[in-house]
Structure 1
Amino acid sequence: MAETVHVLVAEDEPLAAMAIEDFLSRKGYRVTLAVDGLDAMERLQADPADLVITDLRMPRMDGHALIRELRRRDPGLPLVVMTGFLSLDGNADDITGDAWKPLEVLRKPVSPQMILDTLERLLARHAL
């Protein structure tokens, strides 16, 4: 990796966030943690990321609202959504339609390797 890729992780479960941070940092990524969508927006304002990983259910600003705001500001920003609560109903279409690309949805529990593989696939596609 010529330039260190900056990944922002918005996750309200501290152990999950720290595990992702540790794994991605060991793989050469620069990782910033945010506890919810509002925290993520503040951190992105101060230090833009190359890719955002977010949970959907978080306090203050949830993942749906965060994704809408990120898409409004930067439609091409790669996003990875991790959730244990995504059902195949109207809410799923809210974030998985073509308007939300590039975006990948991973159902929890998610292995760190699966996150890394998804992140690398999105970044490679985004670079084209």
Structure 2
Amino acid sequence: MPEAFHILIAEDEVLAAMALEDFLAFKGFRVTVAANGVEALECYAGERVHALVTDLRMPKMDGQTLIQEIRERDPALPVVVMTGYLTQDSDLKHERWKPLEILSKPVNPRTICDTLHRMLGLSQEV
């Protein structure tokens, strides 16, 4: 049996993180949840991750700093950003951040799952 794709979620809103974790696990992904960017970076350093799903505003280390840190190690890692605080001129919209998708909160877990499928080159149904 092939290894399940491992998704790292960095989200400080506990209920949102749990709902997304449950949905993605039900869809066949292996999921690790971190409450902030520091925890996420520690998880990333310890395990192979196929994609990152992150909020931008979190305690200890924000999502943009987390993405920068991970991009230094893996420039091609797919990243899904969930936020309600992105401005039109955000640096994250620059091509250098690709592959990156930005989704406005509140985000339906199915939308995140569909985005991950597309970014990872998977069929829409797992």
What TM-score bracket applies, with the shorter chain setting the length? Answer: over 0.9
Q: Percent identity?
A: 56
Residue from 108, 117, 120 that aligns with 1:123 = 120
Give 1:87's aligned residue. Answer: 87
How far off is 1:47 after superposition?
A: 1.2
The one-letter amino acid paired with 2:102 is: V
Q: TM-score, normalised by structure 1?
A: 0.91
Give the structure-2-normalised TM-score: 0.93
Unpaired segments of 5 or more residues in structure 1? none
Q: Distance in 1 between matches of 2:57 and 2:46?
A: 24
Q: Which residue in 1 is equivalent to 2:5?
A: 5
Cα RMSD of the aligned pairs, angstroms, is: 1.3
Aligned amino acid, residue 50 of structure 2: D
List runs of 5+ in structure 2 lacking aligned partners: none
- The size of the alignment, in residue pairs, is 122
Give structure 1 regions of 4+ aligned residues with deviation exceeding 6 angstroms.
none
Match of 1:114 in 2: 111
Write the mapping of 1:26-65 to structure 2, written as runs, cut at 5 A.
26-65=26-65
Q: After superposition, what is the alpha-carbon deviation per residue over 1:71-105, rounded to whole angstroms, capped at 9, x for unaligned?
A: 1111000000000111213xx1x112111010000
Bigger helix share: 1
